[in-house]
Structure 1
Amino acid sequence: MASIAPAESKAAAQAGAGFIFKKALISALVALVLFSLMIGVRTEAGPEGQLIYWTRFQELAGMVAAVFVGSIVVELLRRWWGPVDTPRLMPEGARKTLAVAGRAVAPALLIFTFLVPVIFYDQRYILDLGILVLTYVMLGWGLNIVVGLAGLLDLGYVAFYAVGAYSYALLATNFGLSFWVCLPLAGILAAFWGVLLGFPVLRLRGDYLAIVTLAFGEIIRLVIINWQSLTGGPNGVSGIPRPTLFGIPLVPGENGLAALLGIPFSPSQRLVFLFYLILALALVTNWATIRLRRLPIGRAWEALREDEVACRALGINTTTTKLTAFATGAMFGGFAGAFFATRQGFISPESFTFQESALVLAIVVLGGMGSQLGVALAALTLIGGFELFRGLDQFRMLVFGLSMVFLMVWRPRGLIGHRAPTVYLERNQTISSDLVKEGHG
């Protein structure tokens, strides 16, 4: 018997090695088929319009080899880790440490964000990147109301972003209104268009809702392109005024803020002001979302997300629930659009394509629908990741797509999955025997 046991274990190991090798080989063949046209052959239009191409077989072989080795490593790790459903007990000390670390992530991230302009005052690139990340954080928090809380799949969120940007640009350039006057107007106009979108989709859900919202975003973009007398068409709107601090412009000269404070003027001062401005707008969005979740309308959004039929059966007005979700999310998108217009000083339809909607939706989904912290971390990861892989040129989008696939396999509910109800019973309660036969609830 002792001699039979090692033989059986050796045969099982050989069978397991054969299975791993076979699975890795199949993965490599699939990668070869998929990447042959994506990486192996590069095509471009020639100077006379003809199609020219060249091969990149070395890069293709490297990618296939990476898939082969990666498949083996993943399978070995899976066997070493064991079944995913197997419960693993964590030491009490480690659990408490992770809990404390989890609670400290949000305050630490907020403190670091406040200190970014101080630490990187003379680094324009870092400040610009921080402003861009915070803009997408605000957009993600606005879309999180529609997708994460109300469960309404919106693929045309960029339309409200565009409405807010063009509202501020046209009001400021044609009527000379300041940023602080146009900001609430941009949010109100975007919310109005959110209500207009909400009415046609009251009876739609799932894929049909996504198609209609996608069409709405494209309609807004095409209207902006073709209504040249109002929006400037493809030429866009230029000369958009910059924001001021209590009416004091951040410009060189006697009337500028630096001259009034008696300090030398620096171009970084305007970037620091824009950084704290978008940070304040994002924090207001976060605060409003958290407060709304605790109100009856926020609980109605959560009920609508979980089950629309049950929500209607409970007597909740799904019409007003959907319209308020679209209007609230659109309002914050309009605020972000107004900031984008004043930051750039120029806007055009190319800034409001479907790719922007897809990116914001990816931030919400990957961060965890309903999670404020998860959306912020996802925006930092995706937007910062774009910059980290900027030097990869053609492989940039490939790395971005692969990272999203791996993340969704590893964390299907996002970085921080949060679907817990706002109100729940902390402990079971015993009820009267008149209500149930058993006498216990």
Structure 2
Amino acid sequence: MNALKLKNYSKLLAGVLLLILPLFLQQMNDYVLHIAITIGIYIILSLSLNIIIGYAGQFALGHAAFYGIGAYTSALLMLQWNVSFWVALPAAAIITGLFGLLLGSPVIRLRGDYLGIVTLGFGEIVRLVFVNWVDVTRGPMGLPGIPAPTLFGYTFTEKTDFYYLILVLAAITIFVVHRIIHSGIGLNLLTIREDETLAQSIGIRPVKYKLMAFALGAFFAGVAGAFWASYISYISPDGFRYMDSVNILAMVILGGSASIPGSILGAVILVLAPELLRYVDDYRMMLMGVAIVLMMIFKPSGFWGEKHRKTNFYRLQRGEHKP
């Protein structure tokens, strides 16, 4: 009971600190607040990819494509149809989720490297569409002048406004993902990841839940993309490259797959680390690479992955699954 109270107090303290954080960051400069906002975006992206990789066990390498689809969908809705941000964001998320289903349907029976190659190809196809569909996306020139969110006549112009918005979106994402993975859906996904044949034998349909994982992962990536488009007010195909997918994947692996705290920690580390290493700019990426290699050697389950996976394994052993 005391441990539970301590955990709840820790969450409350963390929430209070996040709420008052802009008061301290603004005293430094807007760039530090921008880093905090970027961390929030990548927390959503890392969590969304973790649904696909960590819980469903599907090796996906094209997550930046969903991020881009959400950004372009939201931007086009606001620029060409004068749709409000509050309508464009959920619409972009839903459309991106449908693209997740579209990708998952033909490739869902592939595994391992084969699935990774197909999703990588999907990411490149989407990026090339952004580049070459000039009539809609303006190609390499991108889409400028994307409107900022407006709420009750107040337009979001300050970085503090966007900080609180991404804080709310990240909190909603964490809550929803937590509820999903601790429900029958999450336990079924874990069963499929551990042993697909066993899952089929107890009445779980792997295709159904894998498609669900792709759709959910794409949905939340679309949320992050829609926010990014309004925050930056300009998007171009260069913002959604293959290396962005690799970066999101590294966050999941480094933090710990199948772990919500791991996804959050991975996003924080891989956004902050390049900034902290700016004083050794010539060696920054080399040092990052060495750190990740050492991490994989000495702690292959990630910073926060091992304990969480054990907990889920024991829950599966007790038969806590629902077809």
The question of a shared fold, defined as TM-score above 0.5 by the shorter chain, is answered with yes
Q: In 2, distance between residues paired with 1:237 and 1:177?
A: 16
- Gaps of at least 5 residues in structure 2 are none
3-state secondary structure, aligned to 1:199: helix
1:121 aligns to 2:7 (yes or no): no
Among residues 124, 132, 137, which one is paired with 1:231 in the alignment? 137
In the alignment, what sits opposite 1:244? 150
Matches within 5 A, 1:8-407: 108-122=13-27, 123-250=29-156, 270-407=158-295
Q: What is the RMSD of the two structures over their aligned residues, measured on CA atoms?
A: 2.3
Q: Relative to 1, partners in 2 of residues 1:102 and 1:356: Cα closer, same or farther, differing over 3 Å?
A: farther
1:273 positional shift: 1.0
Q: In 1, distance between residues paired with 2:40 and 2:21?
A: 12
In the alignment, what sits opposite 1:90? none
Q: In 1, distance between residues paired with 2:141 and 2:199?
A: 47
Q: In 2, distance between residues paired with 1:426 and 1:211?
A: 33
Contact 2:187/2:316, CA 8 A, preserved across alignment: no
1:367 positional shift: 0.5
Q: Percent identity?
A: 42
1:391 positional shift: 2.5
1:404 positional shift: 0.6
1:109 positional shift: 4.1
1:138-161 Cα offsets, whole Å, 9 max, x none, are: 110111111111111110001110
Letter in 2 for 1:424: R
Q: Relative to 1, partners in 2 of residues 1:404 and 1:106: Cα closer, same or farther, differing over 3 Å?
A: farther
3-state secondary structure, aligned to 1:200: helix
Letter in 2 for 1:158: A
1:244 positional shift: 1.4
Q: In 2, distance between residues paired with 1:151 and 1:425?
A: 16
Q: Relative to 1, partners in 2 of residues 1:422 and 1:248: Cα closer, same or farther, differing over 3 Å?
A: farther
1:106 positional shift: 5.3
1:108 positional shift: 4.6
1:164 positional shift: 0.4
1:100 positional shift: 9.8
How many residue pairs end up in the alignment?
A: 314
1:295 positional shift: 2.2
Instruction: Give me the TM-score of the superposition, normalised by structure 1.
Output: 0.68
In the alignment, what sits opposite 1:87? none
Q: Relative to 1, partners in 2 of residues 1:200 and 1:250: Cα closer, same or farther, differing over 3 Å?
A: closer
Contact 2:74/2:85, CA 8 A, preserved across alignment: yes
- Gaps of at least 5 residues in structure 1 are 1-95, 252-269, 429-441
3-state secondary structure, aligned to 1:152: coil
Letter in 1 for 2:312: P
Give the greater-gyration-radius structure (CA).
1
Compare relative contact order (CA 8 Å, sep 6+) and give the higher one, 1 or 2: 2
